[in-house]
Amino acid sequence: MNANRILVASSAAARRRDVRAGLDSEHYEISETATSSETIEKACFDLPDLLIMDSVIEGIDAHRLCAAIRPQSKVCILVLGGLEGVAGSTAIDALNAGADEYLSMPFGTAELAARVRAMLRRVARRDGKEIVLQDRAIDMNSHRIKGPDGQVSRLTPKEYFVLRYLITHANKARTHRDLAQAVWQRDGSGEVEYVRIVINQLRRKLEPDPAKPRYLLTERAVGYRLHMPVEVRAREAAKS
């Protein structure tokens, strides 16, 4: 089973059905959205590997959706040329706004499938890395933590997003508000308790002893800090 997650966004049910049918033989994990607001939310917070969207959704051009998604997500974006009678974003507009590829009409299912495979190969090269700690490893591509004795814990989207943010800012204290803003994209004032819940969930999956954390540390009166040992940072720097 292919682990790649694809989000298909279109206001037209027939378009979503056709795209899904064109990728059916690849056995991707495919989800759908029909509205612009849901597309932005799922693209940013459900962490798909690839977003395939129409050039216009609910009257909103794809380049405007790209502009809303890009500050919050690095998801790979493929924009499909407009349906007959629908203008939508041009290739130049979409690419300038952050789309990775634009597939002009008309196109066949074979071309769509080939373009998707090529884009997912780029995603794998970009994101496919493993951070090896003392007694476990974080697989950033599959969103899993591999523990001792072959134990594997899968991260929820929110857990992955928090962990990725802390890894990006390793060994630096991040406030509750920083984390809430990064994950929920709000001012953070009402999400502190949710941050604590996600941190506790992560500790159960990441820490040898969640009651005495060695990686996800609490910074009193501040927030949290991911402690990444010196040797791990050196290995990561050598990879990049």
Which pLDDT band, with edges at 50, 70 and 90, does 125 fall under?
low
pLDDT at 127: 53
Q: The pTM is what?
A: 0.58
pLDDT at 238: 44
Which pLDDT band, with edges at 50, 70 and 90, does 210 fall under?
very high
108 CB-near residues (< 8 Å, 6+ apart)? none
Which pLDDT band, with edges at 50, 70 and 90, does 185 fall under?
low
Q: What angle do CA 160, 6, 58 make, to 5 degrees?
A: 105
User: Alpha helix (H) ranges present in the chain?
Assistant: 13-23, 36-45, 62-69, 91-96, 109-127, 157-168, 176-184, 192-206, 230-239
pLDDT tens-digit series, residues 29-62? 899 999 999 999 888 877 788 999 999 999 899 9
Domain residue limits, the chain: 5-127, 130-239
- To the question of domain 5-127 being in CATH 3.60.130.10, the answer is no
pLDDT tens-digit series, residues 54-102? 999 998 999 999 999 888 778 899 999 876 555 667 889 899 999 999 9
- Give the integer Cα–Cα distance in Å for 207 and 202: 8
Whether 135 shows a pLDDT value over 90: the answer reads no
Altogether, the residues listed in the chain come to a count of: 240
Q: What percent of the chain has pLDDT over 90?
A: 37
How confident is the prediction for the chain on average, in pLDDT? 83
Residue burial 8-33, b: 16+ Cβ < 10 Å; e: rest = bbbbeeebbebbbebbeeeebebebb
pLDDT at 240: 47
Nearest to 76 by CA among 95, 56, 55, 104: 95
Please provide the CATH number assigned to the domain covering 130-239: 1.10.10.10
